[in-house]
């Protein structure tokens, strides 16, 4: 994912949260979860820009593959992004 795609994704989530707060009030409760589905990955041996050739050695994955949350709003609304 490029920096531009990450920036756009974050901006879209911020816009949704802002509209939701305008319509149903402040967020009062949040429940979330995250998971790492792929525990190990091949380590790169040759980086060329945003791509890399994979080696035979494997390394531990340190970021989550999936994240979800559900929120409750002051005026009895519920939602998720």
pLDDT at 55: 83
Q: How far apart are CA 7 and CA 48, in angstroms?
A: 23
Higher pLDDT pick, 54 / 11: 54
pLDDT over 60 at 81, yes or no:
no
Which structure tokens are listed for 31? Answer: 């429940």
Q: Structural domain boundaries of the chain? A: 3-79
Which structure tokens are listed for 9? Answer: 């994704």
Which structure tokens are listed for 3? Answer: 């920096």
């Amino acid at each position: 994912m490029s920096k531009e795609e990450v920036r756009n994704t974050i901006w879209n989530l911020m816009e949704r949260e802002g509209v939701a707060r305008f319509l149903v009030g402040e967020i009062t409760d949040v429940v979330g979860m995250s998971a790492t589905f792929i525990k190990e990955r091949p380590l790169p041996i040759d980086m060329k820009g945003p791509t890399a050739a994979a080696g035979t050695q494997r390394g531990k994955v340190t970021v989550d593959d999936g994240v979800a949350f559900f929120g409750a709003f002051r005026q009895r609304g519920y939602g998720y992004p």
